[in-house]
A and B are shown apart, each in its own frame.
Chain A
Amino acid sequence: MESEKTKEESKPFEDPEKKPDARQRSVEPQPAYRGEPAASAMVAERLSAYYGAFKALADINISIQQNKITALIGPSGCGKSTFVRCLNRMHEVTPGGRIEGKLLLYGEDVCGRDVDPVQVRRKVGMVFQKPNPFPTMSIYDNVIAGLKLGGRRKSSELSEVVERTLRQAALWDEVKDKLKESGMALSGGQQQRLCIARTLAVEPEVVLMDEPASALDPVSTQKIEDAMEELKERYTVVIVTHNMQQAARISDYTGFFYIENMGDPGRLWEFDETSKIFSSPNRKETEDYVTGRFG
């Protein structure tokens, strides 16, 4: 039993049809990797997501490791973005958006009826595909926009947060002399890093990034990747990316999402350490994808 469990946990992806006992799996959060210092920050148990009647994601089981970068890859439209949007309950914001299953943040149910999504989002921050700074706010105000929701703070404290988070987002040197200017005056890459700083200022446990570099040039992408390396010291990072090199470069774990037939919901096809996924994946589709044979 013990060994089986270890084996099961070491491969958080389970296909319920092959392994019926997966259904009875305990909902208690478990450290996914025995013997490693890392623990699960977030655990999804048979998580499904819907848009109205359409099932976009089916039975996702995953355990996201604390202070690690988890990359989610896969062809377009296979539910990667939907999945990260489930993690901080942004999915429900879309008309018809609905989540089933269990989602735990440090053992606490995130999707419970009595859990306020507002509270979840303070703990699980998100950076979007397109930079979306608030155009009416200055750079400074953009960074502390989320912080201000939590109540008044001393301006010295705020300045400190602004500098720290902008440094973490590798943007400080570029904007330190123009903090009072509009965030819209920045380049696309700078705007995205501003959005990262804004997310960090709230001090979440987990930072979700939905293809944060897809709309950016290579230099900006490089800067964001550099910033992420430092981020995992303090945060757990989940990043959706189209770019497999990026996933291979920066992530510790990689999840591959895949849709077998047109119209099926997306599934987490394989989840493992990044080195394993990119060198010797267990499933053929994963191998085809990471070697660039489709997608």
Chain B
Amino acid sequence: MLSSLTTRFALLKQLRRGNLGDVIFQLLALLFGLSILALVFGIVFETWAQSAPSRREFGWSFLWSTAFDPPNDSFGALPFIYGTIASSILAILIAGPIGIGIAAYLVEIAPRRLNQIVGFVVELLAAVPSIVFGLWGIIVLAPWLKNYIVPPLQAVLGWTPLFSGTFFGPSVFAAGIVLSIMILPTVAAISRDVLRAVPDAQREGMLALGATRWEMFSRAVLPYGKSGITGAVILGLGRAAGETMAVTLIIGNSPKIFTSLFDQGATMASIIANNFAESRGLFLSSLIEIGLMLFAVTFLINVGARLLVSLISRQPQGGIRA
């Protein structure tokens, strides 16, 4: 309130001085800044409006209905919500620890030079387009998993429902692994920033007590950066939930509630991408409603995670070498 008042006051003062250029430029900049907010509102409004027919037709039951029957115009979102949660959790279970491990390596262990190279590699990993990962996942990774990973896995864990059934290639399992590779840069980069923000005084305090590097990391650095690391993991989760093309190619797009990871499934994003072009009317509207839900979920995830990360950032950077 106060700040907007002072801004207005400053504007008036500038006007009185006759510096019109400054006022116009500031207003112009403000306009673009506000447009960012407008874009987000636009997304909400558009998806809300376009999904109206579906919301009218199915109401809340859309959330827990497993129906997916385009000829009879009967749709439910549950299989896709389920598929999104399952594949994202599988991805974060793999990428979370590995991403934090990379961050730990970069901040606590790696020499400066190597630090830059590894940082660049992680950046490149983020730059490879989703569709290329999808192609690689379905053509190269899935058959490789089928031949080398699934048989031993099934020999040991085949009795659990999670790893039962026949593995054909396109599967939740393969999708989760590709997803984990794709979200690794997100988790690693943000965890790295968080670990760098942990003050060296914390590290030195623990080292001076005679701690090893691992004890320093696990007892002083990690607890200090806990909220930020959690934020990084949640951001990775959000990215996995919204990732579309790779999953569309790999997961099989089968609208059912699966129990085995070797089964095929579908996520919210993949079902939209897979069916959008051929859909009309209520089908299209229900796909857009799924998009609205996806937006809401990823938006909330991102807001929460960003808040957690911002708790620790904006501090002098650390990173001593024990």
Contacts and interface: CB of A to CB of B under 8 A. Distances in A.
A touching B, CB within 8 angstroms: yes
B205 to A, nearest CB: 4
Interface residues of A, number: 27
B142 interface: no
Contacts of A121: 207-211
Interface in B281-322: 320-322
A134 B224 contact: yes
Nearest to A95: B321
Interface residues of B, number: 23
B224 to A, nearest CB: 6
B8 interface: no
A132 B219 contact: no
B104 interface: no
Contacts, number: 73
A88 interface: yes
Nearest to A127: B208
A118 interface: yes
A136 B226 contact: yes
A199 B209 contact: yes
Contacts of B205: 128, 132-134, 195, 198
Nearest 3 A-B pairs (CB), nearest first? A146-B209, A122-B210, A136-B223
Given A93-B322, A132-B201, A119 B210 contact: yes
Contacts of B220: 134
Contacts of B199: 132
A134 B223 contact: yes
Interface string A62-102: 00000000000000000000000000101001110000000
B206 interface: yes
Nearest to B201: A132
Nearest to B319: A95
A167 interface: no
A90 B206 contact: no
A218 interface: no
B36 to A, nearest CB: 35
Contact of A149 (B112, B202, B215): B215
Contacts of B219: 134, 145, 149
A149 B209 contact: yes
A125 B215 CA distance: 16
Contacts of B215: 149
A130 B204 CA distance: 11
25 contacts: A93-B204, A93-B207, A94-B321, A95-B320, A95-B321, A121-B207, A121-B208, A122-B209, A126-B204, A126-B208, A128-B201, A128-B204, A132-B204, A133-B205, A134-B219, A136-B224, A146-B209, A146-B210, A149-B210, A149-B211, A149-B215, A198-B205, A199-B208, A202-B209, A202-B210
